Chains A and B, each alone.
Chain A
Amino acid sequence: MSSVVHVIELRELTKRYGGRTAVDELSFRVQPGVVTGFLGPNGSGKSTTMRMILGLDAPDHGEALIDGIRYPELTWPLRTVGALLDAGAFHPGRSARAHLGALAAGNDISSSRVEQVLGIVGLSDVAARRAGTYSLGMRQRLGVAVALLGDPGILLLDEPVNGLDPEGIRWIRDLLRGLAAEGRTVFVSSHLIAEMALTADRLVVIGQGRLLAETTVAELAATDDNLEDAFFRLTSQTTDYRGRTAS
């Protein structure tokens, strides 16, 4: 077994698109054993940050490290970090089984593990179907299967509950908490503060690409009447688009 403690560390991570700074000198650490929620309004830079951690987008400044090294330097990336980036990251003409099988082959993961994760996410019966025919909920489950494929110590999930029905949301919540309880590092983004309150232990809150708070759910809730008010107060200066209250 590996004695490595799985940590994600961001050091002044920065991404600019043209003149706009999407992620602005973001520095924080994500620890194992708990679910860390990555919270921020729409457009606050959560997805960009996640893509930079995975080496998909190159930072303009700073770095994101997995156990001290950059993602592309990992020996077997899928066995160290499992990621759900968006529910559409598959070819619609390919079956779930072939999709998982191809990615498994890319990291020398056994085909028995493919069947195992299909079972975990409840897609075994439809695994031979073209993934393009799946409902949004089934697509999310396929994405979760990809994340679990390499039995990784670190899980990175971008808005995993999007499009899921209440039962699916509870399933994700229990799954993530279970994975964290096993000692894994679970980093999950959301713009839904209420959902994060139920799922996460720790919170990293960002707005306009900047770190606003690194805290726990309990600490943040204690700063205002309730967690939602506390979140709005924290992010009020950084929300890009807001409707006016009807009067």
Chain B
Amino acid sequence: MNSYRKGGKNTGRYGFRQAARMEWIKLRSVRSAWWLAIAAVASMAASGIGVGLGYRSHTPVATTAQILNNSLSGAILAQLLLGALGALMMTGEYGTGMIRSTFAAVPRRRVVLAAKAAVCGLATTTVGLVASFTGYLGGQLTIRGTAIPAASLGDPPVLRAVVLTGLYLSATALIGIGLGTILRHSGAAIGVLFALMFVPTIVAGLFGEGGVAIGRFVPLLMLLNSVAVITPGAGLFSGTVSVLLMGGYAAVAILAGGVLLRQRDA
């Protein structure tokens, strides 16, 4: 009778590094992730180009701030696409039963969640920055040869707006991961994510002038009035604070997911 012998190295223990490699392979091996990333870049490119073309014949001549703010408006759609990407990294596994394979390989679930968040954060920061720069470039290239002043990335407020928009998009994806962990269902997670992006915006609008006090905490309004702009609106947080606030929302969602993950059956 053959005797079973344990082969291979048997030192160490599975941990974050292994889980992160696993999550990276998973992320890049499904088409939906690529499509969502491409669509996010394309939506920002399209809005950048569209805004630039629109302003070419606009009177009075548009300002640097107008061009920049508006050419980054594709982030409204891009945030939903990358938010969905984040949510699907978790809910896609619950929907298919993959989650049981994942937890069988890495039983400490919060290690899986941390790895997903890290991989998602890195990937969507890259995609978000590419998308944001594409939107900026789309606007700038299409206004070439007109009287509209160029917005140079050498100008710190311009560079800051473009970079912060990219980081804002990544934070949205991380909120998606958190919601996906809490809700475990693709439709529910993406629905709640979209609602969180739009409903508070509408509610803040109902308060009129007083809405600023609420609006400065609202994701979409922060994007449009603090993050993707040269100068934030009166009474609002700075772009940096707004993006940090988004990161805080993501942290709360992911930590809440982590608590539930431990308690529930897979």
Contact = CB atoms under 8 A, between A and B. Distances in A.
A30 interface: no
Given A93-B32, A103-B105, A108 B4 contact: no
Interface stretch (A35-43, A78-86, A221-229, A236-244): A78-86
B265 A92 contact: no
Interface in A63-120: 71-72, 74-79, 81, 83, 85-86, 88-95, 98-99, 101-103, 105-110
A55 to B, nearest CB: 5
A107 B105 contact: yes
Interface of B: 1-10, 12-14, 18-19, 21-26, 29-32, 92-93, 96-98, 100-108, 265-266
B180 to A, nearest CB: 14
Interface stretch (A181-189, A193-201, A204-212): A181-189
Contacts of B8: 79, 109-110, 151
Contacts of B22: 102-103, 105-106
A1 B10 CA distance: 9
A55 B105 CA distance: 11
B265 A51 contact: yes
B98 A89 contact: yes
A75 B12 contact: yes
**Interface pairs A-B: 5 shortest CB-CB:** A98-B29, A72-B107, A183-B4, A106-B22, A106-B105
Nearest to A55: B107
Nearest to A185: B4
5 contacts: A51-B100, A56-B103, A78-B105, A91-B30, A105-B18
A219 interface: no
